Structure 1
Amino acid sequence: MDKQWIGCAPGNFRVGRPAGFKPEIIVLHTTDSTLANAAMCYNKPGTLQSVHYAIGNNGEIHQYVQEADTAFHAGLVVNPAAEFIKQRPNTNPNFFSIGVALEVSVLGPPTATQLAACSKLIREIADRWRISVDADHVLSHSAIRASVNCPAANVDIAQLIATAVPDPATNLVAGKPIGLLSKVNLRSSASVSAPVLRVLDAGSKVEVVSFTAGDVVSGNGYWYQDKDNCFFWAGATDRPNPRILLTPNEDEASTDTMLLIDQAAATAAGLQINRSRFRLPAGQFFPERPKKDLIVLHFTAGSSAKSAFDTWIGDAQHIAAAYLVDVDGTVYEVFDPTQWAYHLGVKGFNGRLDQRSIAIEIANVGPLRPAPDNPEVLNWWPPRRGQTQLFGTQYCDKTQTDKYRQTSYRGEQYFATFPAQQVGAIRLLLNDLCGRFSIPKTLPPKAKQFERDLDFFQSYSGIASHVNFRSDKWDIGPAFDWAALAIANAHGA
């Protein structure tokens, strides 16, 4: 199912689960008000509140906490009615539960769309963690804490359980041999955090008995189950979309299969995307999903991904990039790249350029200048502590030739280079995004690659950089190892 990652303030949940606990029950709640208010609450430091998921009246699902982590939603036990809780009298239920909340409807009972999404989500969670879908394992919050009416009385949990039936298609793949494109971990459940039971080499064939929804990796949430009850990610196989196996004529199958194969290849090559650490809450980017045909590369003019994210979080101007690539090559997804935020700062287009593009911010300090008191030292832009003059912070000295490149560009003579691991991660991310969104994998024509030309770039499709849209910017500039991307320049003037 489609889910929108919202995230949660660090102090309002616990990373992991203590003492080997894993999810064994699903606890249902209602939110105090709207999804927007719920997101604000969970992302406000110090509230000590969170759930794993909340479902809107329209069936939209928001996720705030990873299932493998501990949300703060059911920790207070008061006269519990649930036998599962009574049998664990001295244990915090948050340690072994997943919390799902329904948005309160201003019109009364939950909507049919909302309940249908809830049933399907219950089924997915149960399949991932081998939780029985019954009254002992799908509980109301009030069954743990009798003093709350949560979820509301008009939420029919018995009906949710009855309709949370397995996908009938999952059993139709039984006996099908699946080829592995890369080395694969066989896990105890359909989750990247589940224990690895054994490892299979690339080129192996595995006979599967079923498939299920699990952790989403590079846009693919399908997992196969083998006859030994082990799970492995479908994206690492020659059949990344299990439903193609149900189609007698593969030519009639969904064309997204090749897209998923591209994603599997990217992951096999080493692309890993962190979708939890630096995540903007809803309301700080735009939820619309315009067509994407452009990728724009930026540098942060800072020393880390965190420094860039810290300038975006809490900013009401909706300025951000969908991705951050740190100095060590770690890729962070800040919000769903199908959505958008302002990142170009080009006037006169009413955000049209921002909407059609996916922004990637690369952690790099940018231009360097010789220190006034020592021309053999190169400084970057922050002033020295206690002073106001820019370019007062030492970055490197001129003997460290791997850290800078000397070249004249837009009034500056020195620029910080990009580590090889960072460039490699950018290459993989560009390959992934171009495949997922059918964006031409080309750089601007050489004559225009480092120039601003709005007449040209407002209709250009492919990979560009910030300098192509602003004459007052340097990113990502001439110090980047463009050849390492192995992407050709487009033809043109």
Structure 2
Amino acid sequence: MGSRGRRAFLIGGLGVVAAGAVAGRDSIARGWWLLPGVRKPRQEGALDHAGASWSAASPANWRLADRPDDYRVDRIVIHVTQGDFASSVEAFQNPWHKASAHYIVRQDGHVEQMVRELDVAFHAGNRSMNERSIGIEHEGFVTRPQDFTDALYAASARLAADICRRYGIPADRKHLLGHSEVPGADHTDPGQHWDWDRYLRLVGELLR
């Protein structure tokens, strides 16, 4: 996700554009079948991960797709919000933000889904990676290792294992990567305090 300052600026416009965001979401929901290549029906509030809750991101922050039929899903990109959970949800609901992720994992282990997996979230700053990946945000700051709690690691690992199982994604560092590792990325998340060895071990154990 972008810098803390940019998020604060973008969130400030939320009230002005809220009505437009709702109207845009409703029009897309009604007209999905008119778009070429998009065939799968969508039900508002439907979840891809059983342990999640739903809050819809603004349709300005993601793109309708028909994955994995139109784009193969073979990557998971790990992000850190650089802000708290509530401000991150608000940012993804703000059409001026122009970014979102499929999921946000809170420090207490709660998982919020904001974009359906069949659709393309604007999370990686790279079109090809967006089209082939699921984006998972984690509440916290890259400079604060205490933000990466046991509950956060456990919930994210369950989510990642579920995604890997459903799409046949190997649970390794080639297929689970940080935002900073996306080609062309100018972000530093998840940063040096993210424990990749621990994370991959947890995911792998759940896939056995």
- Give the TM-score of the pair, scaled to structure 1: 0.31
CA contact (8 A) 1:54 1:62 kept: no
Q: Does 1:273 align with 2:48?
A: no
Separation in structure 2 between the aligned mates of residue 365 and residue 354 of structure 1, nearest angstrom: 22
Query: Offset of 1:317 from its aligned partner?
Result: 6.1
Unpaired runs of at least 5, structure 1: 1-36, 44-52, 67-215, 220-266, 369-403, 405-415, 445-461, 489-493
Separation in structure 1 between the aligned mates of residue 176 and residue 121 of structure 2, nearest angstrom: 18
User: Which residue in 1 is equivalent to 2:132?
Assistant: 356
Partner amino acid, structure 1, of 2:156: I
Query: Offset of 1:363 from its aligned partner?
Result: 0.5
Separation in structure 2 between the aligned mates of residue 355 and residue 433 of structure 1, nearest angstrom: 15
User: Which residue in 2 is equivalent to 1:478?
Assistant: 192
Correspondence list, 1:209-224, <5 A: 218=48
Query: Offset of 1:55 from its aligned partner?
Result: 7.8
CA contact (8 A) 1:467 1:474 kept: yes
Query: Offset of 1:341 from its aligned partner?
Result: 2.4
User: Which residue in 2 is equivalent to 1:467?
Assistant: 180
Separation in structure 2 between the aligned mates of residue 440 and residue 60 of structure 1, nearest angstrom: 26
Partner amino acid, structure 2, of 1:484: R
Query: Offset of 1:335 from its aligned partner?
Result: 0.9
User: Which residue in 1 is equivalent to 2:7?
Assistant: none
Across the aligned residues of Structure 1 and Structure 2, the Cα RMSD in angstroms comes to: 3.1
Secondary structure at the residue paired with 1:360?
A: strand
Q: Does 1:303 align with 2:60?
A: no
Partner amino acid, structure 1, of 2:164: C
Separation in structure 2 between the aligned mates of residue 335 and residue 432 of structure 1, nearest angstrom: 16
Correspondence list, 1:51-450, <5 A: 61-64=41-44, 218=48, 272-275=51-54, 278-289=55-66, 290-304=71-85, 306-316=86-96, 318-346=98-126, 351-367=127-143, 404=145, 416-444=146-174
- Give the TM-score of the pair, scaled to structure 2: 0.69
Q: 1:320 to 1:218 in 2, by over 3 A?
A: closer
CA contact (8 A) 1:297 1:359 kept: yes
CA contact (8 A) 2:59 2:95 kept: no
Query: Offset of 1:480 from its aligned partner?
Result: 2.2
Partner amino acid, structure 2, of 1:465: G
Partner amino acid, structure 1, of 2:160: L
- Identity of matched residues, %: 22
Separation in structure 2 between the aligned mates of residue 344 and residue 298 of structure 1, nearest angstrom: 9
Task: Select the structure of larger CA radius of gyration.
Answer: 1
Higher strand share: 1
Unpaired runs of at least 5, structure 2: 1-19
Divergent runs of 4+, >4 A: 53-62, 216-219
- How many aligned residue pairs are there? 172
Query: Offset of 1:484 from its aligned partner?
Result: 3.0
CA offset digits 1:289-323 (Å, max 9, x no partner): 3211111000000122x211212223256411111
Q: 1:319 to 1:41 in 2, by over 3 A?
A: closer
Higher helix share: 2
Q: 1:318 to 1:217 in 2, by over 3 A?
A: closer
Secondary structure at the residue paired with 2:104?
A: strand
Partner amino acid, structure 2, of 1:463: L
Comparing both chains, which one has the higher relative contact order based on Cα–Cα distances under 8 Å and sequence gaps of 6 or more? 2
